[in-house]
């Protein structure tokens, strides 16, 4: 970022020096004998000035676009790095307890955790991933989460996917799913549930999560996660997405629609 800004300043310093020198050169042609020669030099120097102005204007706009892109990538990386780090700590603690209780289950647990971490560390750095890979990530997350709780949980994941290879920005849906477990399942004593629906067609990708809702439960942490998601969506899908929620009795639902261009 600093290098690019310094480079831009040097270019415009050069432009600021070059144009006055060219103008001075044009004025100096008044001492030349012969109108044709004088006019020819004036025309050539005027073309040179016009070219310099055009070239440096183009370079300036290109540099501004690069700075905006670098800023966008930095903001996205920061937002990605803020996603559910505490989940891994909780998962490792659960794994420790599971090893003592059921070694076979612990091995399966480790494999799912490995896949989850591989996606988070490597694939999340990509601009887009295939929808089927994002689905696998959500399923692994669900399996790891349900293994943590010592109670029955009604989990249902409905999928209607026309093209599994559809590209989507990584780690968008996980925030909504994580909130459903953290603010729904953890607080529910009876009839705990998380219902998911993912629909993809030629027009849009639609992801909905429904879970138990407790009106007395604080929504501060949920607000931080949703703000993170909203910031990423505004950067990645400006004017091509909708994020909305609703509460019906003891059910909280959130829907994210991403419209295809």
Strand partners, 78: none
Neighbours of 100 (CB within 10 A): 8
- The pLDDT confidence band at residue 202, using thresholds 50, 70 and 90, is very high
Which is nearest to 184 in space by CA: 139, 143, 219?
219
* Percentage of residues of the chain with pLDDT beyond 90: 26
User: Is 85-259 CATH 3.30.565.10?
Assistant: yes
Distance CA 54, CA 58 (A): 6
Write down the pTM of the prediction: 0.67
Q: In this predicted model, what pLDDT tens digit does every residue of 147-193 receive, in sequence order?
A: 777 778 899 999 999 999 999 998 889 889 988 888 877 776 678 89
- The pLDDT confidence band at residue 78, using thresholds 50, 70 and 90, is low
Domain ranges, ordered by start, for the chain: 2-81, 85-259
Query: Order of strands, edge to edge, in the sheet holding 192-200?
Result: 153-161, 192-200, 204-212, 251-259, 241-248
Buried b (16+ CB within 10 A) or exposed e, 159-181: eeeeeeebebbbbbbbbbbbbbb
Q: In this predicted model, what pLDDT tens digit does every residue of 25-45 receive, in sequence order?
A: 555 555 545 555 556 656 666
Which is nearest to 174 in space by CA: 201, 149, 140, 202?
140
CA-to-CA dists, residue 119 to 110, 124, 126, 129, 219, angstroms: 14, 6, 10, 10, 28
């Amino acid at each position: 970022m600093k290098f690019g800004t310094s480079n831009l300043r040097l270019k415009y310093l050069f432009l600021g020096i070059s144009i006055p020198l060219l103008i001075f050169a044009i004025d100096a042609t008044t001492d030349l004998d012969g109108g044709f020669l004088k006019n020819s030099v004036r025309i050539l120097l005027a073309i040179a000035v016009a070219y310099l102005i055009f070239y440096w204007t183009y370079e300036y706009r290109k540099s501004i676009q690069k700075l905006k892109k670098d800023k966008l990538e930095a903001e996205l990386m920061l937002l990605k790095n803020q996603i559910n780090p505490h989940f891994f700590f909780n998962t490792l603690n659960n794994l420790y307890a599971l090893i003592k209780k059921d070694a076979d289950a612990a091995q399966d647990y480790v494999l799912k955790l490995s896949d989850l971490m591989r996606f988070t560390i490597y694939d999340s750095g990509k601009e887009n991933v295939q929808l089927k890979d994002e689905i696998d990530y959500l399923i692994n997350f669900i399996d790891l989460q349900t293994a943590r709780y010592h109670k029955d949980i009604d989990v249902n994941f409905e999928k209607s996917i026309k093209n599994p290879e559809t590209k989507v920005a990584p780690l968008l849906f996980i925030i909504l799913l994580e909130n459903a477990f953290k603010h729904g399942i953890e607080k529910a004593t009876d009839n705990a549930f998380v219902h998911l629906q993912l629909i993809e067609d030629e027009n849009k990708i639609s992801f909905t999560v429904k879970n138990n809702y407790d009106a007395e439960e604080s929504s501060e942490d949920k607000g931080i996660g949703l703000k993170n998601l909203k910031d990423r969506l505004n950067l990645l899908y400006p004017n091509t997405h909708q994020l909305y929620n609703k509460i019906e009795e003891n059910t909280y639902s959130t829907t994210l629609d991403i419209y295809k261009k």
